[in-house]
Amino acid sequence: MKKISVLLLVVIGFTSFAQETKALFEEKITKKVTMGYVLQLPENTKEKYPLIVFLHGSGERGTDLELVKAHSPFTYQNLIKEPFAILAPQCPEGIWWDTEVVYELIKKTIAKNNIDPSRVYLTGLSMGGWGTWKLALEHPELFAAVAPVCAPVDRMMLFTAEKLKSKPIRIFHGALDDVVTPDNSIEMFQKLKGIGANVELTIFSNDNHNSWDSTYSNPEFYTWLFQQHQ
């Protein structure tokens, strides 16, 4: 009798576990986000003006907004002769760019100011270069031109590169970069070039990870940028 009772317990335990539920979970989930930013607008101009969106690197994360201007077009804005605006959000400490939040910030900035929506340009360096690729691939319709600098590139970016086929793109990297190797930019360039994209790659032979100064200190960069229209 003991053997039979043990056997029955095993069978009952097994059959009670074998239950399957198939259902659809549907729920609206909202989140509250906070992101600081610096917005510089031109003075005394009635005409619509272009907007440069700049995404900083990992070293400028946090809450000190002065940091976002440290390595950026802010430093070289005297090279730009026409009125323009520049928007530089700040990524919170400990995370990488939340491009959904940045996208909403850009849209609100355009809506509230006299910005020409056909002349919105996106650039960023290092972690911000990664954010530049990610945001441009998610919302290619928003930007007239894209310029990543010393940017990491992931597999998904290469897989979805087709979305940027018609977008003017300039990629910049240092040949001696041992933080984000130039292979990242070379591979993305080759992928885009292979699908017929309007893309150019500049490798600075003497630059390490800091290829942003070589990029943003060149007046020709801004000449090219502001020639692009949607």
Average pLDDT over residues 192-214: 97
Q: For the chain, what is the domain count?
A: 1
Structure tokens at 105: 């910030």
Does a structural domain hold residue 9?
Answer: no
All residues at 6 or more sequence positions from 83 whose CB lies less than 8 Å from its CB, including other chains: 42, 45, 47, 49
Give pLDDT, residue 135: 98
Confidence of residue 13 (pLDDT cuts 50, 70, 90): low
Does a structural domain hold residue 192?
Answer: yes
CATH number of the structural domain spanning residue 115? 3.40.50.1820
Burial 77-113 (b: 16+ CB within 10 A, else e): eeebeebbbbbbbbbbeeeebbbebbeebbeebbeee
Does a structural domain hold residue 105?
Answer: yes
Does a structural domain hold residue 67?
Answer: yes
Does a structural domain hold residue 2?
Answer: no
> Got the DSSP string for 100-121?
HHHHHHHHHHHHHTTEEEEEEE
Does a structural domain hold residue 16?
Answer: no
Average pLDDT over residues 111-132: 97
| 52: amino acid identity, one letter | I
Confidence of residue 10 (pLDDT cuts 50, 70, 90): very low
Does a structural domain hold residue 7?
Answer: no
Does a structural domain hold residue 123?
Answer: yes
Write the pLDDT tens digit of every residue in 67-104.
Answer: 999 889 999 999 998 999 999 999 999 999 999 999 99
Which one is predicted more confidently, 99 or 10? 99
Give pLDDT, residue 7: 46
Burial classification of residue 58, based on how many CB atoms lie within 10 Å of its CB (0-12 exposed, 13-18 middle, 19 or more buried): middle
SS3 173: strand
* Range of the structural domain that residue 193 is part of: 37-227
Write the pLDDT tens digit of every residue in 23-46.
Answer: 998 988 787 888 999 999 999 888
Q: What is the rounded CA–CA span in Å between residue 96 and residue 93?
A: 8
Give pLDDT, residue 45: 86
